[in-house]
Amino acid sequence: MPDDTPDSTDTKAGERIAKRLARAGLCSRRDAERWIAEGRVSVNGTVLTTPAVVVTPGDRVVVDGKVVPDPEPTRVWRYHKPAGLVTTARDDKGRPTVFEKLPPELPRVVSVGRLDLNSEGLLLLTNDGELARHLELPVTGWLRRYRVRVHGSPTNAMLASLADGVSIDGVAYGPIEAALDRQIGSNAWITVGLREGKNREVRRVMEHLGLPVSRLIRLAYGPFQLGKLEPGAVEEVPRRILRDQLPAFFPKEDKAAPAPGAVKPVRMRYDRLPKGQAGSAPPSATKGAKPGGAKSKPAKPKAPRPSAIREEYAEAARKPGRRPGGARPGNRNADRRR
């Protein structure tokens, strides 16, 4: 099994040549070592004979006579693959490929795993071949979730039997989570979750149960969800999410520490500046104060609350001869004012 985890032997000034070729999406590290042994790789005009070489961004790496460009920062996209596309760069049968349908502004990308011709749904794309191979490994432990339409009438007991794994034609498949969503006539919808993702695994397992698949949609790959992404649409995954989910590949940037002895700047206020300088102060320094230290107008007295008025009338009713507001009985001017 190739070692596609971050290499601790890399230095800050560069990275191992095998990792460089893997990041460029050309091959795996194991394949890169084989290419070097075959004399197909050169650095700065020198043909390599060993993979124990560290290259820097300024080095000229050539494979089979073609220059390998410096790798860009690692990026990941979510793509809603429609049915009818193959997940290969070139197809011998001339069928349309995923990469032919991608927006032209996207850089060169590779897919994380594959979806067969008639499958649809979430396909992860990245410009880092090493990351793609790392995410494909079963040891990553990410759950792939699918929604599957089958022909037949599956039972809960039938689907529960997949929890211990199944062997088909000598191929052992790991534990599979399967739950019946609903039965519609002679068809049924099933939610399937698995962690290995072998070639055509869902279709072969369902057919083994006598349930041929008529539609297969991948809903999630680990923490990445298809969501409401339209068929054929591409959306880049924010870098903060990549840092949270893949800390080995996307370490969090440390905030620069303040210099020793640095003094925190003091925010000035308009009301503390001379009148001639107040006009040039930034608006964020005012906090509601007026230029030149002018004081704001006193607040108007608030009108009494309705509850307070009711209490006043109730108090007046308990004292004969008094009305609310201090008016006396028989005072016609007071009554007129009301």
Catalytically annotated residues = 116
On whether the CB atoms of residues 148 and 190 are closer than 8 A, the answer is yes
The tokens describing 72, both together, are 């860009």
Assign 219 to helix, strand or coil.
strand
What DSSP character marks residue 325? G
Handedness of CA 40, 43, 49, 51 (dihedral sign): negative
- What three-state secondary structure class fits 242? helix
Give me the residue label for tokens 């290969």. 88
CB count within 10 Å of CB 241 equals 13
Q: Are strands 213-221 and 120-126 parallel, antiparallel or unpaired?
A: parallel
Q: Over the range 176-197, which residues count as b (16 or more CB within 10 Å of their CB) and which as e?
A: bebebeeeeeeebbbebebbeb
Q: How far apart are CA 186 and CA 330, in angstroms?
A: 92
Task: Tell me whether residue 55 is exposed, middle or buried, using C-beta atoms within 10 angstroms of its C-beta: 0 to 12, 13 to 18, 19 or more.
Answer: buried
Residue by residue, DSSP assigns 270-292 as GGGS-HHHHTTS-GGGTTTPPGG
